[in-house]
């Protein structure tokens, strides 16, 4: 049963990870949240090892996860699951592409896939950077590293921050330290750059030299105080 689940999970990842091996990383973060098979830190280690070994990173990571979960048979199962969608799709596309290659709808579909692939890869790079660079610093400051993505998104986008906080709370629970910290962070900080761009422009504020540093400092203070208050009131 475990081998079948490994095959199915990586079949889905291989089916939707358009744009190369790095595009699989957001799906692996989701797999970590849903199954608990590995942590974000372990995933960062997997990426480092997969990048430093021969072969495509996506296949290497699938093999790595499968081996960690069920040994050699697990690595075979995840690798086959990961590459199967590509083989099936390539065979189908090769049959029909020659006939429809000049079709404007087909051309539009490929044109639309380019920014989507870029977005997946950029998201993966951001997630890896957050885990690798911010997590050790946040741990020393007493802030749960799992809230790092919320801290990065919050000053830029209110809806993005709400989505990030909702995902964190849904994953770890509203009564967990991580969930409570995310909720307090969301309520005690602001969409800094949106406020400066829209409200300052609407009000005709021109002297804004120190506005961005002051606003970012306020957000950082809000993040630190939120984590400290959660620890103080509810403990660790």
For the whole prediction, is pTM greater than 0.75? Answer: no
Sorting pLDDT into bands at 50, 70 and 90, what band is 193?
confident
Q: How many residues does the chain have?
A: 236
**Other Cβ atoms within 10 Å of 132 Cβ, number:** 15
Span 56-97, pLDDT tens digits: 667 777 887 888 788 888 888 888 888 888 888 878 777 777
Q: How confident is the model over 204-235, as pLDDT tens digits?
A: 666 777 777 888 888 889 999 999 999 898 87
DSSP per position, 1-34 = -HHHHHHHHHHHHHHH-TTSGGGGHHHHHHHHHH
């Amino acid at each position: 049963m475990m081998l079948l689940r490994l095959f199915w999970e990586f079949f889905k990842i291989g089916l939707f990870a358009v744009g190369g091996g790095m595009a699989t990383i957001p799906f692996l973060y989701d797999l970590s949240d849903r199954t608990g098979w590995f942590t974000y830190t372990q995933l960062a280690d997997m990426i480092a090892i997969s990048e430093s070994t021969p072969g495509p990173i996506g296949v290497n990571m699938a093999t790595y996860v499968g081996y960690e979960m069920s040994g050699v048979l697990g690595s075979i199962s995840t690798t086959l699951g990961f590459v199967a969608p590509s083989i099936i799709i390539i065979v189908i596309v090769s049959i029909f592409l020659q006939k429809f290659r000049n079709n404007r709808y087909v051309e539009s579909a490929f044109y639309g896939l380019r920014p989507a692939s870029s977005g997946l890869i950029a998201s993966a790079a951001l997630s890896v950077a957050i885990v690798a660079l911010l997590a050790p610093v946040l741990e020393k400051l007493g802030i749960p590293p799992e809230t790092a993505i919320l801290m990065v998104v919050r000053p830029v986008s209110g809806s993005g921050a709400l989505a990030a906080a909702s995902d964190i709370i849904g994953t770890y629970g509203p009564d967990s330290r991580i969930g409570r910290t995310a909720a307090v962070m969301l309520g005690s900080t602001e969409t800094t750059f949106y406020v400066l761009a829209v409200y300052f422009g609407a009000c005709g504020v021109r002297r804004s030299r120190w506005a961005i540093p002051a606003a970012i400092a306020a957000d950082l203070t809000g993040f630190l105080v939120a984590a400290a208050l959660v620890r103080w009131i509810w403990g660790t």
